[in-house]
Chains A and B, each alone.
Chain A
Amino acid sequence: MTTYIIRRILISIPVLLGVTVLNFFIVQLAPGSPADLYLDPNASPDYKERVEAALGLDQPIIVQYLNWLGQLLRGDLGLSYVSRAPVADVIGARIGPTLLLMGASLVVAYAIAVPVGILAARRKGTWADYTVVGGAFFGVSVPNFFLGLGLIYIFSLQLGWLPTGNMVTIGGGGGGLWDGLSHLILPVIVLSTAIAGNMVRYVRSSMVDALSEDYIRTAHAKGLAPGVVTRKHALRNALIPLVTVLTVDLAGLLGGAVVTEQIFQWPGLGMLTIQAISSRDYSVLMGVNLIAALAVFGANLLADIVYAVVDPRIEYS
């Protein structure tokens, strides 16, 4: 097992390196330079060149990349082009809200999707099943921004029950638990809708497969009650393939967070990404991308480890 984990980490190093190379060069393809936004539009070309030299932007792209990589190996993500604050600090301040949003969305999504999926599987072919499948299809297909704006319109603008955005009421003195929760509700609904929709379909089909296995018939032949058969014999087998779905969901969440955080002005990594793109803050962008790549890779590794724990048939060597 340890050997397997070490091997996986070793293999991932060139992959991560490749991701940074791609990111770096794609970012550079965008027209303009960070200096354009940094400077007065009327600054002299000479002054612009000096600023670019100070930022290291005058060097060939390869050299710039190697410089960045060299810094990274020393554990330094560089300074933001915009605020001149260390990138690590900029990201550090935003990572908490994003984790809160993603964590809450995952918990809500799974809390809904697993029981609903099981219900649909056990009632396969009935109206309950069709309703669930239809609802799940809606959840997957409705776009984040549309759902987000719709919810804001109904619950914030029309009904006035919930705030339109942000994490806390500005000027509200930090707010209590309810203030925090009320800000969390709408973005969590938006993010968890898509995940839950996807998840319900996986839970359902995985459960349908599990319930048709020979060992389920064996369990019924023992005289076990249907509930015991579902919980003890089918569910655990059905959840194993869902470990993979969880990791895919995580990548999807990161993407979804960008749009959702922007709509709800949620001060997380997603919003930071949009800000960094529009201000051509390449060093922050590189930092965020690296974190995202690490998160996806980490989730995949975690999934493989969880597999080995829940499925006795899997042994890594």
Chain B
Amino acid sequence: MNATAEQISQAPAANTSLTESIELSQLDQLFNERFDERFETKMKEREAEHTPSMTIISTKGTLDMAYPPFILASTAAALGWDVAIFFTFYGLSLLKKDLDLAISPLGNPAMPMKMPMGPHWLRKANIKMPNLVMANIPGFEHVATTLMKKTMADKGVADIGELRELCLEAEVKMVACQMTVDLFGMEKEDFIPEINDWVGAASFLPTAQKADVSLFV
């Protein structure tokens, strides 16, 4: 007890002489060097512990626009990322039990029109067709959708149902927009039961805020 009290009473005197012997600028320099060393290691530790995350806002319900969200989400999940997709407006079609997605070449000038059958020269040809013609042939979209699905299957591209299944298996969070269901008078029973939540923008944005990657499709 006595010894401790003695040590304490001597300590300030010792410290004073120490501070006197080291210039303040030297202390600063030592501290900064040590900080830089520690900062680097701490940042590396933090990076190693950090699980990357991604949020996607999916707004389109056509066959072609169904691919980007599901491809990116399933791949990110395979890389070990946390992923959530917010489906809003026509994007909600991608969560229907009965996935009946179509593609329209009408008003879609970038879409290549290819024949997935027949001789090589025909398969290679890009068949240009005026909008006026496409718009007037009954069932044109149906035929275009069938041909696109065949091309995708031939090229080993997964179908949307399979990709969605892989996303669900990998625990990608599927979040649906409540307002869209009300707006279009949709029935919740028509959607897959795996939907994590029916929410509004205010519930989704805080998730997006913390995400490393946030995409709008």
Q: Do A and B come from one complex?
A: no
Residues of A within 8 A of B (CB): none
Residues of B within 8 A of A (CB): none
